[in-house]
Amino acid sequence: MKKCMIFVLAIMIIANVSAQTKIEDQVNYFFAQNKIDMVMKLNNVSYENFSRLQDNFLIIEKDRKVLSLDLNSFKENKEDIAEFSSIYRPNMIAIDLKNLPEISFSNQNEIIKIMQADDGATKVFFGKKADQNESFPSVFIVEHYIPDTIVSDNYRLNGTPRLTAIFRNSPKVEIINNGLYFNPNTFGISARSFFSSDLEKSQFDIMSEDNVKELVGFSDSILISTSFLSFDYFFDRGYKTESWDYSKEEIRGFDVFPEQCSKLGFVFLPGYGYDFIGTSTFTKNNGWILGIAYSEENKFETSLDDMKIFVQKSYENNLTPIVRVDSENLDAKRVADFINRLSNITEGKLEYVQLEDKPNLEGIAPEDYADFVIYIKERIRQDIKVISASLMPGREQIINGKILYDSEKYISSLAEITDFTGSIDYLGGYAYDLNISGLDCITGKDLYSGETICIDDITSYKAELELFKEKTGKSFEVIITEAGYPLTDANLRKTESLLQLFKEDKNVLAALVYSANSWEESPDSAWLKEDKSQSGFMKKIMQDICS
């Protein structure tokens, strides 16, 4: 790379219409007092252009022809001064120096030259007054330059364009570069623009009277530092700067704030008893608890008794019970009967029921499931909230002659059935989805294929909500009826992150962890211990996100 390539430029001025001397003041402020002698080498140009401030005009001389820029009106009289409104802001104009390899300013017996290295690389931008009645902002923006001296800053070594903005008494000026929106009046960057901007390799200088605030952009951050104005030939921008030894550190995490975990709860498997106090402790009261009932003939009465106690005890412990009713062969009549009887014997305390679980995995066609739900909804107390069955994410397969339905197609079919969408109050959802990327992976068993897969992508419930909104025009809330991963230290952060996400997601009414008591079926996923003590995993979660 050629060492002595060139360089820079810059300037702009604007002053108050009513006080044209301010134009000079501003130039003085930037240059004169700092004894500048920025005579830069020119790459391939053998002549000079001189400019000066005369009255209210910036005079630029080139080949003995005089270009002038009326600083009051900004009416350019030469084609060298081009409108850049399409690229930048409508209220910005720019001088493109493609035909002006060098311009100079004469000020207080000093000549200040600005040159460019490559045609079109250097532009001098001028802020334009926002309104006829407002003052001209004093904004100075200098883009580009290739250093004249050897610098260790890789950005400049590579000739990366740099934006310099000088603000002073500048009301209502918007400067947009790399998606960043500055407000020079408040010296601020719009937070929205900051988060959406492409910061990679961007550099900005914001100058005030006695210092320069340097902004160096990296892919996900901006580093801001202060340099005091100290014009020096040996530095490529006319003031002292530094090169950054920047080691990238990515910060990722999740929010923890003092809020009770009242959105959370546990799923209890039937037959092992319930730990209401443990659940209440975990959720800091007002949490959720899900019990599973069976409506088939041989289990009906036992399950009814079980659920009666479950609902009553839940209320006694300030928990909201959800009763999931599983049926055999989609016997809607029996399920409706079960719900009505349970509602009666619990004196109306039954508020939430979920109808079935993973019907797409059971070979139940979506239309049949929809009919099942519609039938039941019509025959139960109308203030009982119906939660649709959570679907198991996966692709369509036929195993042993049974169709395993694609979950996306399944939910899409259900969303098309108006009576169905009118019959449910909440969508049931899972926290699992296939993590196709396989990154940062928590594994689980694919109930379709039996293979070990990554299950920690949690976007499925969001996609289902979006789909339902699109199809019905109505925003549904979701109740996650199975969340949580095996209780290993490696999964701790991921689990915390997951639960925290549910706490914050306003579309999630509740998220229940699977499971509280799967001591036999899945012991590494059981959050509560048989002796009613808390697992260390659970304690840590409570401490981190429920404190």
Partner 1 sequence: MGRGQISILIITGLVALIILSFIIFKMYYEKTEIITSSHEKDYSRQVKPVTDYANSCLDKVSMLAMSKLGEQGTIYPNVYLASNDRKISYFYFKKKGYFPQKITLENQFSEYVKENIKTCLNDFSDTKFVVEDVGEGILINSKIEDEKIVVEMTYPLNVYYESKIIPIEKFSAEINTGFSGMYDLSEMIFLETEKNPDWINLGSLQDTKYKVRLIKVDFNTLVYEISDDNGLEGKPFKYTFAVKYEL
Of the two residues 192 and 333, which places its CB atom closer to partner 1 in the complex?
192
Distance CA 152, CA 149 (A): 10
Q: Judge whether 461 and 478 are in contact, CB under 8 Å.
A: yes
- Cβ at position 170, least distance to partner 1 in Å: 13
Site string for partner 1, 454-493 (x = CB under 8 A): ---------------------------------------x
Of the two residues 224 and 309, which places its CB atom closer to partner 1 in the complex?
224
208 binds partner 1 (CB under 8 A): yes
272 binds partner 1 (CB under 8 A): no
Name the amino acid, one letter, at 221.
S
Site string for partner 1, 134-173 (x = CB under 8 A): ----------------------------------------
Contact with partner 1 (CB under 8 A) among 99, 183, 281, 412 = 183
Contact with partner 1 (CB under 8 A) among 85, 108, 226, 488 = 226
Contact with partner 1 (CB under 8 A) among 258, 401, 450, 473 = 258
- Going by C-alpha positions, the residue among 182, 170, 157 that lies closest to residue 2 is 157
Of the two residues 56 and 211, which places its CB atom closer to partner 1 in the complex?
211
234 binds partner 1 (CB under 8 A): no
Distance CA 427, CA 437 (A): 27
- Cβ at position 221, least distance to partner 1 in Å: 4
Of the two residues 234 and 257, which places its CB atom closer to partner 1 in the complex?
257
- Cβ at position 460, least distance to partner 1 in Å: 21
Q: 55's torsion region: left (phi>0), alpha (psi -120 to 50) or beta? A: left
Contact with partner 1 (CB under 8 A) among 20, 221, 491, 507 = 221
Taking the C-alpha atoms of 307, 309, 310 and 312 in order, what is their torsion angle to the nearest 10 degrees?
A: 120
Contact with partner 1 (CB under 8 A) among 95, 189, 387, 478 = 189
- Going by C-alpha positions, the residue among 94, 142, 93, 82 that lies closest to residue 114 is 142
367 binds partner 1 (CB under 8 A): no
Span interacting with partner 1, options 35-43, 249-257, 418-426, 452-460, rule CB under 8 A: 249-257
Distance CA 198, CA 218 (A): 9
Contacts with partner 1 in 388-447 (CB under 8 A)? none
Of the two residues 20 and 190, which places its CB atom closer to partner 1 in the complex?
190
Contacts with partner 1 in 494-533 (CB under 8 A)? 496-497, 500
235 binds partner 1 (CB under 8 A): no
Contact with partner 1 (CB under 8 A) among 222, 345, 403, 441 = 222
Residue that the structure tokens 């900005």 belong to: 204
192 binds partner 1 (CB under 8 A): yes
- Exposed (0-12), middle (13-18) or buried (19+): which is 478, by Cβ within 10 Å? buried
257 binds partner 1 (CB under 8 A): yes
- Exposed (0-12), middle (13-18) or buried (19+): which is 172, by Cβ within 10 Å? middle
Distance CA 110, CA 401 (A): 91
Span interacting with partner 1, options 185-193, 261-269, 364-372, 529-537, rule CB under 8 A: 185-193
- Cβ at position 246, least distance to partner 1 in Å: 9
229 binds partner 1 (CB under 8 A): no
- Cβ at position 137, least distance to partner 1 in Å: 16
C-alpha pair distances (Å), 308 with each of 317, 344, 465: 14, 10, 32
205 binds partner 1 (CB under 8 A): no
- Going by C-alpha positions, the residue among 374, 393, 389, 382 that lies closest to residue 478 is 389
Of the two residues 368 and 504, which places its CB atom closer to partner 1 in the complex?
504
Residue that the structure tokens 């952009």 belong to: 217
Burial letters 292-302, b for 16+ CB under 10 A, else e? bbbbeeeebee
**DSSP per-residue string spanning 150-168:** ----HHHHTT---EEEEEE
Of the two residues 77 and 226, which places its CB atom closer to partner 1 in the complex?
226
Of the two residues 70 and 242, which places its CB atom closer to partner 1 in the complex?
242
Contact with partner 1 (CB under 8 A) among 84, 235, 254, 272 = 254
Pairing of strands 478-483, 508-514: parallel
Distance CA 234, CA 366 (A): 75
**Rg from Cα positions in the chain:** 35
329 binds partner 1 (CB under 8 A): no
188 binds partner 1 (CB under 8 A): yes
Distance CA 411, CA 454 (A): 22
542 binds partner 1 (CB under 8 A): no
252 binds partner 1 (CB under 8 A): yes
Q: Judge whether 173 and 130 are in contact, CB under 8 Å.
A: yes
Q: For the chain, give the longest Cα–Cα distance.
A: 105
- Exposed (0-12), middle (13-18) or buried (19+): which is 465, by Cβ within 10 Å? buried
Distance CA 151, CA 539 (A): 54
Positions that interact with partner 1 (CB under 8 A): 183, 186-192, 194-195, 199, 206, 208, 211, 213, 215, 220-226, 249, 251-258, 493, 496-497, 500, 544
